[in-house]
Chain A
Amino acid sequence: MFAHMSSIWEYANPRRFMATSAALLPWVSVIAAICLIGGLIWGFFYTPNDFRQGATVKIIYIHVPSAVMAINAWFMMLVCSLIWLIRRHHVSALAAKAAAPVGMVFTLIALFTGAVWGQPMWGSWWEWDPRLTSFLILFLFYLGYMALWEAIENPDQGADLTSVLCLVGSVFAVISRYALVFWNEGLHQGTTVSTVGVGVEESEGVSSVFLYPMLTSLAGFAFLFLALVLYRTRTEIRARRLKALIAQEQMA
């Protein structure tokens, strides 16, 4: 058990990470492509329309997975930030940096698809519904986090400062979430899984007709996130190495 635990940290070794990620990346990308294409085609063309919302409801196959991944990306950044602050693994800091733009784009997709989906029902493109508003605030957190990375030249200093910001931001994001519920009771549909069951009153649980394509699409988004983060972390490592080499050359 402990031997296994300690071996996890070996992947934080940059060389080991580069080798492992190079081997994993094609597989992860292929799985992401298969799940995404499969899940979306399945969801879009092989599930029945909602009796009230018609075909619009099918946007959930993009909306829900991107929303789930938008939150999980921030959570991953939080874990990576903690690992950096506690164990000083450089790969971890760069993985957090690499995940931020991906998470931000997922947040944007969730916001956009949410607006498109809600428009016919709410009669407006934007409602200050707690959940939609939480994603807007999450988007602002991503923006601030990335802007802070951008503003600092020294990479270790940047990693330290953004990690503390991520930590503090996470606490405030959770408080904001509850504050928003308190502030406005909300028009949003119920939780993710019950959303899947909208319009199928006859089946008490979630109908597998909707659940399986949703889960496939969710897996597709998760693997897409993983592939993008691996790819971007590799790029960050190369960029960092390049910077060090240039600095070395200038000193010599």
Chain B
Amino acid sequence: MALTVTDLACARGPAQVLANVSFSVAVGEALILRGPNGAGKTTLLRTLAGLTPPMSGSINHVEGAIAYAAHADGLKSQLTVFENLMFWAQVFGTSSTAHAIEAFDLAALAHRRAGELSAGQKRRLSLARILVTGRPIWCLDEPTVSLDAENTTRFAATVKAHLANGGSAVIATHIDLGLPTARVLDITPFIAKGLSQADPFAEALS
């Protein structure tokens, strides 16, 4: 298994959002997270990425295997497309940006400043960043927002190629990417209803 989650409870700020989340993602498999707005998909992904510590439960994967992409594009508008990608390549210690530029058809834009791009183009650049990390487990939060049909297909093809190469992915999305090895996980049953965060002072005044 590339990623195994056991009895995970996640919190957003002081409030518990999800409880008893258990799933595993195999090598070459994609897990599609579904659930209503505010259910906790983003919180779950942030917890998987290691930004938010889990309230309880465990997340098992090889250290440094997760590449995280959030709602925000994380781009520097003063830098060019190429400079943005090159920066992340340096941070992640991978040197090549060529395959990422090709996968998202960014060659024509490579020397434009990110600030001049349209929302869809920014998104493509942001997704290209994931390829540049060279990490096997992708945790993507609504990756297809502001992508047109053509680029959504391009993105799906990239994910497919990644899975075929022995990668895995956890993707919060509402659209059907047409991935052959995708499994859908509806997180609605895990919503921590009424179970507010273990209030440390719950018994203080009883």
Interface residues of A (CB under 8 A from B): 14-15, 17-18, 90, 153-157, 237-238, 240-241, 244, 247-248, 251-252
Contact = CB atoms under 8 A, between A and B. Distances in A.
In the complex, the 3 A-B pairs of residues with the closest C-beta atoms, listed nearest first: A14-B204, A90-B200, A244-B199
A251 B196 contact: yes
Nearest to B205: A241
B15 A241 contact: no
Contacts of A237: 201, 204-205
Contact of B204 (A15, A155, A156): A15
Majority secondary structure of chain A interface residues (helix, strand, loop or mixed): helix
Contacts of B201: 14, 90, 237, 240-241, 244
Contacts of A238: 205
25 contacts: A15-B203, A15-B204, A15-B206, A153-B13, A154-B13, A154-B14, A155-B14, A156-B14, A157-B13, A237-B204, A238-B205, A241-B199, A241-B201, A241-B202, A241-B204, A244-B196, A244-B197, A244-B202, A247-B14, A247-B15, A248-B199, A251-B15, A251-B193, A251-B196, A252-B194
Most buried by B among A154, A240, A244: A244
Most buried by A among B13, B193, B205, B206: B205
Given A90-B201, A241-B202, A244-B199, 4 more contacts: A14-B200, A17-B204, A157-B13, A237-B204
Contacts of B200: 14, 90
A160 to B, nearest CB: 11
Majority secondary structure of chain B interface residues (helix, strand, loop or mixed): loop
B125 to A, nearest CB: 32
Contacts of B194: 248, 251-252
Interface residues of B, number: 15
Contacts of B197: 244
A14 B199 CA distance: 11
Contacts of B202: 241, 244
Most buried by B among A90, A157, A248, A252: A248
A187 B193 CA distance: 65
Contact of B196 (A18, A155, A248): A248
Most buried by A among B193, B196, B197, B201: B201
B115 to A, nearest CB: 31
Nearest to B17: A251
Contacts of A252: 193-194
Interface in B163-206: 193-194, 196-197, 199-206
Interface in B103-160: none
Most buried by A among B196, B202, B204: B204
B102 to A, nearest CB: 42
A75 B204 CA distance: 26
Contacts of B206: 15
A67 B145 CA distance: 60
A96 to B, nearest CB: 15
Contacts of A241: 199, 201-202, 204-205
Contacts of B203: 14-15
A90 B200 CA distance: 7
A164 B196 CA distance: 27
Nearest to B200: A90
B205 A18 contact: yes
Nearest to A249: B196
Nearest to B196: A248
A157 B15 CA distance: 12
Nearest to B197: A244
Contacts of A90: 200-201
Interface string B10-22: 0001110000000
A134 B204 CA distance: 39
Nearest to B203: A15
